[in-house]
Amino acid sequence: MQNNRQFNLSVLALAISVTFPSKGYAQDDAESRIRELESKVQQLIQQRTEQDKQIDLLTKELVGISNQISQSKIEKSEEKGASKGKPIYGGFKDGLTFEDGTGSWKLQLNGRIQADYRYFSPDDWKADTFSIRRARLGGTFSFLKDFAVRVEGEYANANDGSKGTTALTYGYLDFTRWSGAKIRAGQFKPFFGLERSQSSNFTDFTELSLATGNGSIFNSTYDHGLMVHGDPLPWLNYNLYAVNGTGQNNDDVKDSKDVGARVNANFAKFTDNKKLVLHAGASISKGSIDFSSSTKSIKQVTEANGVEFFNVGTLNNVTSTTDRSRLGFEGAAVYGPVKLQAEYIKANFEGRQGAANAFDNDIKTWYADINWLMTGESYADSYKSGIFGRINPKNNFDEKSGWGAFELGLRYSKFDASDFKAILASPTANTSEADAWTIGAKWIFNPNARLLLNYIQTNFDTDLVINGKSDDKEKALNLRAQYDF
């Protein structure tokens, strides 16, 4: 089109020049000028002819390439559909995946490493340390469209060597035919509350709050049993479970089970705002903690995973059970890069300490936090099925202009076990009430790598005497380098 326009303008200019010659030209000059213009017209005609040939050749080449691509797609589709296990396709997206050409099975390998440095004050209470908080490797094998098996091992060691060998974390079978009623059997994480339902890869701070961290209310993260869960509606998620109540890698020694449920809703689904989350939910469970001296206990460490500040002491394992019932409420509000989150949990314990001292006491805990993605990512993009997950930076950290995502957070948590004040194992080394402030900064290099820095101050209701040092607060600094896939 552009060539035609240029050619027409050239011919028009020639016609004008011939029709209206300058008065200053002599006859010979005019004839010379005419020959010159005729020569230019011939050149233009020749150039246009060459350009038309080039356009024709390029058009034919383009059609040929398009046909080759179409044929390649057809052949690849036929090859994949007819594959009997070959070829196997590999890729990487939040995990290393291998998939059979027929689509009948898929293997996804996952792992994580969380390398921590922890500083504590008073120095006499807890040693500063480098530690491997978590080191896990496992995989999920999906087959026959409706089934999946997940197995994962923990390789991190405890300071006392109690985790010197690999410990199974996840080991379960899923039946996923119905999105509203998936069935899970084996060892898994029973979902209770918002913070504990999240993967430890994606928690807002290095450790869970006083309300939800392992301790007095939650003796174990994993348990054996059966769970039904799903999303019956786009805005509604739930789970129902029955587990041993004996904790990770333990079979049961009693007939009774821990039963529980969690239900949550995202009311933002009734709006058209994709950057909005209005999450509300509740959890409940009922069971006992009667398995062994390690699980039949009511104790708590600080939010920084520092000193143990609450311990009821030895409970009677022979003449009575220690029943535990839990009730929790959760909420979160997200608007773009800002997230508010809170939970309240009340746990009731009924049993005996020794043969004579009966108790029916409550522990009440709660937390509230606010987080801000300074680089503008939206928390709503990471929210699915009642859980917040992976943050994808707008620009990954690289050698060009990307710096990843930056996040700031502030959390307050409260622990109140004042009902147990009279029967603490050691009144000088234990207290029944505490609260904690946590300030967090997070640098998310890319979806899989992050660096976290937390300052945590835990305040105790009474002075604690630990290793001969008396104080009413613990200060801690936690630095974590993390990579997961």
**For position 265, which CATH number holds?**
2.40.160.10
pLDDT (0 to 100) of residue 25: 47
pLDDT (0 to 100) of residue 342: 98
Does 250 share its domain with 346? yes
Mean pLDDT of 254-262: 90
Query: Is 322 within a domain?
Result: yes
Does 98 share its domain with 78? no
Query: Is 89 within a domain?
Result: no
pLDDT 10s digits, 202-230: 999 999 999 998 788 988 899 999 999 99
pLDDT 10s digits, 81-136: 444 546 788 888 777 888 887 778 999 999 999 999 999 999 999 999 999 999 99
Residue 441 pLDDT exceeds 50: yes
Q: Write down the pTM of the prediction.
A: 0.79
Mean pLDDT of 4-18: 52
Among 82, 103, 128, the domain-final residue is 82
Percent of the chain's residues with pLDDT above 70: 87
Does 65 share its domain with 142? no
Does 51 share its domain with 108? no
pLDDT (0 to 100) of residue 177: 94
Residue 331 pLDDT exceeds 70: yes
Residue 39: pLDDT band by 50, 70, 90 thresholds? confident
Does 239 share its domain with 351? yes
Residue numbers of the domain that contains 340: 94-484
Among 49, 82, 115, the domain-final residue is 82
Q: Which of 112-116, 171-175, 188-192, 423-427 bottoms out in mean pLDDT, i.e. has the lowest?
A: 423-427
Does 101 share its domain with 73? no
Residue 196 pLDDT exceeds 90: yes
Burial 182-210, CB ≥16 within 10 A → b, else e? bebebbbbbbbbbbbbbebbebbbbbbbb
Residue 293: pLDDT band by 50, 70, 90 thresholds? very low
Q: Which of 112-116, 315-319, 362-366, 429-433 bottoms out in mean pLDDT, i.e. has the lowest?
A: 315-319
Does 149 share its domain with 60? no
Q: Which of 125-134, 169-178, 324-333, 355-364 bottoms out in mean pLDDT, i.e. has the lowest?
A: 355-364
The Cα 257–Cα 245 span in angstroms is 6
Among 18, 50, 82, the domain-final residue is 82
Q: Which of 15-19, 140-144, 151-155, 479-483 bottoms out in mean pLDDT, i.e. has the lowest?
A: 15-19
Q: Into how many domains does the chain fold?
A: 2
pLDDT (0 to 100) of residue 45: 83
Mean pLDDT of 277-299: 83
Query: Is 87 within a domain?
Result: no
Does 233 share its domain with 350? yes
Mean pLDDT of 179-201: 96
Does 13 share its domain with 121? no
Query: Is 212 within a domain?
Result: yes
Does 132 share its domain with 66? no
pLDDT 10s digits, 348-367: 999 887 766 788 999 999 99
Query: Is 88 within a domain?
Result: no
Does 75 share its domain with 100? no
Distance in Å from the first CA to the final CA of the chain: 53
Does 66 share its domain with 194? no
Mean pLDDT of 429-438: 95
Burial (0-12, 13-18, 19+ Cβ within 10 Å), 77:
exposed
349 neighbors 323 (Cβ within 8 angstroms): yes
Mean pLDDT of 148-175: 84
